[in-house]
Amino acid sequence: MTTFTVAMLAASPRKQSINVKLARAIERYAPDSLRFTWVRMDEMPFYNGDLEGNRPASVTAFTDAIRAADAVCCVMPEYNRSLPAVLKNAIDWGSKPMDANVWRDKVVAITGTSPGAIGTAVGQQHLRQILSVIGAHVMPGEAYISFKTPDMIDDQGNIADESVRAFVTAFAARFAGLVAKLA
């Protein structure tokens, strides 16, 4: 079986983050063909062109990890109907310089969860638009999850609710299929 590496970007720094729980669930229910590496984004400074030529180690560690991965999975909260700044900052670092843009032709799955009824749907539209502009292959379709009860996903990524588990499993399987085709 061919295996593919996936850089997991969980875009919340909170210890009890529901998006980190969702990211763990995706890893847990994904096919064995996907091997996940969790990549940090919160150690990078804000993008500053003056640092080009002497990029901080946290930035080169990030861009090296994305470059080395066959695909990327973004799991994000929605902040004010958009993506969190930590993820936008990471995308900006990775997109520069233009001839070393790590997102070009990268297969990217996007999802997220919030307690709201349309959990992260609007934020994901922004994320999709940004990634498309910089040349990523964003998985078609939408996957946003309303985190209905505080224990919907446990700390290990186990999902008790059968329909949510089936949805996350199908999402991960669809991603694995796309990665196998395109990566």
Complex with ligand FMN: residue 47 or 79, whichever CB lies closer = 79
Q: What is the SS3 assignment for 108-146?
A: EEEEEEECCCCCCHHHHHHHHHHHHHCCCEECCCCCEEE
Q: CB of residue 13 vs ligand FMN: minimum separation in angstroms?
A: 8
Q: What are phi and psi of 94, to 5 degrees?
A: -70, -20
Instruction: Tell me: does residue 114 bind ligand FMN (CB under 6 A).
Output: yes
Cα dihedral 102→130→152→23 (10° resolution): 0
Q: Both tokens of residue 123?
A: 């934020």
Q: CB of residue 181 vs ligand FMN: minimum separation in angstroms?
A: 30
Number of residues that bind ligand FMN (CB under 6 A): 14
Complex with ligand FMN: residue 19 or 111, whichever CB lies closer = 19
Q: CB of residue 137 vs ligand FMN: minimum separation in angstroms?
A: 25
The residues that touch ligand FMN, with contacts defined as CB under 6 A, are 12, 14, 17-19, 77-81, 114-116, 119
